[in-house]
Amino acid sequence: MEEIVHRTVDVGGLGLHLVEAGPADGPVVLLLHGFPECWYSWRHQLVDLAAAGFHVVAPDQRGYGRSDAPDAVDAYTVLHLVGDAIGVLDAVGAERAVVAGHDWGAPVAWHTALLRPDRVRGVVALSVPHLPRPPAPPTAGMAKRFGTGFYQLYFQEPGVADAELGADPRATFRRLLSATSGGGDAASLTVPPGGGFLDALPEPAELPGWLTDDDLDVYVAEYGDRGFTGGLNWYRNLDRNWALTAALAGAPITPPALYLAGDQDVVVAGVPFEGLVATLRRTVADLRSAVQLPGCGHWTQQERPEQVSAAVVEFAAGLAP
């Protein structure tokens, strides 16, 4: 990966670590990771998209990896995150870009397209679709639908999941990435009574084919200073985000869009793909394509790097200059 460049930029007083690849004058593609990830989850796309002539930018988002992590929980709202995305585009001199996101990065990408369509040539979402606004705060809906042991509710209490996940980061990454991969053993993401998040994730007999011990080494190293608190604070703003975006209810996402998800992704498990796409079209005015990846779990761009890279290149190349 000698062709990629690391640097830190100032975005509104926040230091964000960027990884860039590809020609400086190429069309920009901004890659936004999810939880618990960092720039490294886009390692394949950094190379593939750069080879296709794009200038690829993958930041560690706020609270992650080598980027700054504010102490205040309410410094991680979706408005802050969209502001960071626009700040990164400013820092690399991109008037407009294709914005792609996976997991938590997908809502950031969707909301960047929603709030700043003037800066977004196209939006690509992996795993997480943009759904209509729920009638009540999200945590209430989660408790009703999944029970109070649902992992996102377990993440709400500051310090609890932080300590559990941080006690042995290598075990955290090994168990989480394996169990929620295609063919993994995560039947649900419900924390058992009196237990922790990792109790729902069995120890794998071996790593999935897309994940190596060297990959785990990188994740552990990248989380060595910041830990998991910054990323967990994103979950602690679910209800705050719902309140802050009330005025956007019913507003369509207008830039061209591409959606990809594995058929074994726990995020959309049990939902017929055709129905999911039909719902997505209610909120996305120009959905160019929706792709389901057979045998793929949650870690879309890492499990199916060639297919994801090819789909993003085809989508971005087909957009108006």
Residue in 17, 33, 55, 298 annotated catalytic:
298
CA distances from residue 39 to 12, 57, 98, 105 in whole angstroms, order as listed: 20, 9, 17, 11
Active site residue 298: yes
Place of tokens 């830990």: 227
Distance CA(166)–CA(109), nearest Å, equals: 27
Residue in 48, 68, 84, 103 annotated catalytic:
103
Q: Are 227 and 66 in contact (CB under 8 A)?
A: no
Distance CA(177)–CA(175), nearest Å, equals: 6
Say if strands 55-59 and 120-126 run parallel, antiparallel, or are unpaired: unpaired
Distance CA(287)–CA(276), nearest Å, equals: 12
Question: Which residues face 264 on adjacent strands?
Answer: none
**Residues belonging to the chain:** 321
Structure tokens belonging to residue 314: 């085809």
Distance CA(108)–CA(76), nearest Å, equals: 11
- In 27-147, where do the E strands start and end? 28-32, 55-59, 97-102, 120-126
Active site residue 48: no
Distance CA(45)–CA(100), nearest Å, equals: 11
Distance CA(124)–CA(99), nearest Å, equals: 6
Q: What is the largest CA-CA distance in the chain?
A: 55
Q: Degrees (nearest 5) of the Cα angle 69, 16, 167?
A: 40
Structure tokens belonging to residue 97: 């870009």
What is the amino acid identity at position 120? V
| Residue 53, number of CB atoms within 10 A of its CB | 14
Say if strands 257-262 and 120-126 run parallel, antiparallel, or are unpaired: parallel
Catalytic residue list:
103, 298
